[in-house]
Amino acid sequence: MAMDLHISFRGMEPSPAAEAQVRRRVEELEQFSDRISACRVVLEAADRHHQHGRIYHVRVDLTVPGGRIVANREPGLNHAHEDLGVAIRDAFDAGRRRLQDHMRRLDGKIKQHDSPLIGRIASVFAERDYGFLETDTGEEVWFHRNSVSGGDFDNLKVGERVRYVTDPEEGEKGAQASAVFPLETAR
């Protein structure tokens, strides 16, 4: 896919060497994803500091499916960014990391964590190190002593409200909680 590429220079004369470096870095980004439709790069020279050289700011904007990715390296007093090549490298490295994360999310390769649910303790069998909690829908979910946060298993009371996370795989007794967190307000 032909990407729309724009390179702008602000506060400085256009540099063929910097433009060539930007083009190489854009080609590297295209290796990570062929779904980049546009790339806009702004190279800016900040005003001179009293005893130091110019500090360069580099901004990389990528247009991809699902939105935009912006890598804006604001170096502050990072004197390494007195070298335009270093500023370009740092901005594109940050852009690559953000692009990789974005593409993993789009492809479903980043694990999505379920939100904790709220329930009540239905029963506790302390001598057997397990119990059941009741969900909002009336179902019972099994939990083990080790899944209770903070070692509070022995302090659980029937009817106490808890947050819990279910294990995606059912156990021998059906649905099971991988983590149970007693709610402070219930104590």
Q: Is the pTM of this model over 0.75?
A: no
Query: 46-80, pLDDT tens digit by residue?
Result: 765 555 567 888 999 999 887 888 887 665 555 66
8 CB-contact burial (10 Å; exposed 0-12 / middle 13-18 / buried 19+) = exposed
**pLDDT tens, position by position, 90-144:** 899 888 888 888 887 777 665 555 566 889 999 999 899 999 999 877 788 889 9
Average pLDDT over residues 148-176: 81
Q: How far is CA 97 from CA 23, 53, 69, 71, in A?
A: 18, 29, 10, 9
C-alpha 131 chain-centroid distance = 35
Domains of the chain: 4-106 (3.30.160.100), 117-186 (2.40.50.140)
Q: How many CB atoms lie within 10 A of CB 48?
A: 10
Q: Quote the CA–CA distance of 151 and 106 in Å, as a whole number.
A: 38
**Mean pLDDT throughout 137-161?**
87
pLDDT for res 137: 74
How far apart are the two ends of the chain, measured CA to CA in Å? 60
Q: Are strands 117-125 and 67-73 parallel, antiparallel or unpaired?
A: unpaired
